[in-house]
Amino acid sequence: MEVTAPGILDVGIVLLLAAGAGWLARALSLPAVVGYLAVGLAISPFTPGYVADREQLAFLAEIGVVLLLFEVGIEIDVGRLRREQGAILWAAPLQVVLTAGISLAVLAAAGVPMLGAAFVALGVAMSSSVVIVNITRSRRRTTDRPTEQAMLGWSVVQDLTGVTLAVILLAVAGADDRPLPLALAGGIAFAGLAALAAIALPRVLREIEAEPDLFLIVSVAVGLALAGLGAVVAGIPVALAAFVAGLAIVEGPEATAVRQRLLPFRDLLAVLFFVLLGSLIDPSALGRGLPWLAGLVALVVIAKSGIAALLARVARLPVDAIQLGIGLGQVGEFSFVLASAGVAVGAVDAELYAAVLGAVVVTIVGSTILVRVARPRGAQAAGAPLA
């Protein structure tokens, strides 16, 4: 009991601090995520005062991001997107490829090793699903419904495209020292396991749908087990494996029920993920990496937001293209996972890693504020709860 008590106390204190900081951030018209990041910075070993047990937070936060990306994967319904927003199915992947390509060229020209540049560039090309959901639920939002739907659809297709490219990149990089053929074979084997789970899980859930506790246990267990299998069999980060596992769960009543049961746990543990993210920011390394931070923010604004707005116009989407581009103009959980993978293989150095973490904070704050400022004429703020 004496061994675990300090860790439990840490988690309780961190959650209370995060709740207070999230409330204060919303009172200042900022997203709650900013408050969570600030708490992480305050309790980190890089700042004076209270220091939380980062290893325990990291474990809980990893579970949180696994459930977060598992749920995001479940939410993707390609058939519905094709019916309702068909143009996004080509516009969003094209944006990811163009943004990643431009970012790769710029980073490589600036002296970043090609492999490290590839990890960071792909992270720049992807937006934060959590932040975009928050934008579309905020009481202060000025976006209209078609723009919100396009923003959500665009982000999930971004995720689908980016994770596919990330799995290939990790295989090429040999993230777990496997030969490329073995890494590809592992990826195929994991895809087969995910497909089998997709066939079996709905049947199991239908049998136990009258037992809420068992339904929840099986849903969480499948997400965590498939994520772990992906890491062991395919050698990819558990967060990306969780997303792929979620994709395998075909849209239907069972998938909807799984999402609803996972949401409270996902939201709670995702708070710890953003706190952990803040605790990793080393102000001294960030100071040395300020030029990298400025460059990454510029790439997000020009090579992602600008290209997304342009493609929205070319695709003739019935949206406010400027708001769409700004709403997509941030980096988040996938960028962190990819940068961390780059660090793990020695391709991303401390200064560039700190700059990626700093870009998460700057772009989240910027996109959530500017998307309200870029208010289309005659727009009415909606009244959904603030996320």
Give the pLDDT score at 385. 34
Q: What is the pLDDT of residues 22-67, one digit of tens each?
A: 899 888 877 788 888 888 888 887 777 677 776 777 777 777 777 7
**pLDDT on residue 87:** 86
* Higher-scoring residue by pLDDT: 128, 241: 128
Which pLDDT value is given to residue 5? Answer: 64
pTM: 0.80
Percent of the chain topping pLDDT 90:
22
Side chain identity at residue 205, one-letter code: L
pLDDT tens across 230-279, in order? 777 777 777 777 777 777 665 666 667 776 777 777 677 778 888 888 88
pLDDT of the residue at 383:
37
Q: What is the pLDDT of residue 83?
A: 65
Checking if the pLDDT of 382 tops 70, the result is no
Task: Tokens 């936060």: give the residue.
Answer: 61
CATH architecture assignment, domain 5-373: Up-down Bundle (1.20)
Domain ranges of the chain: 5-373
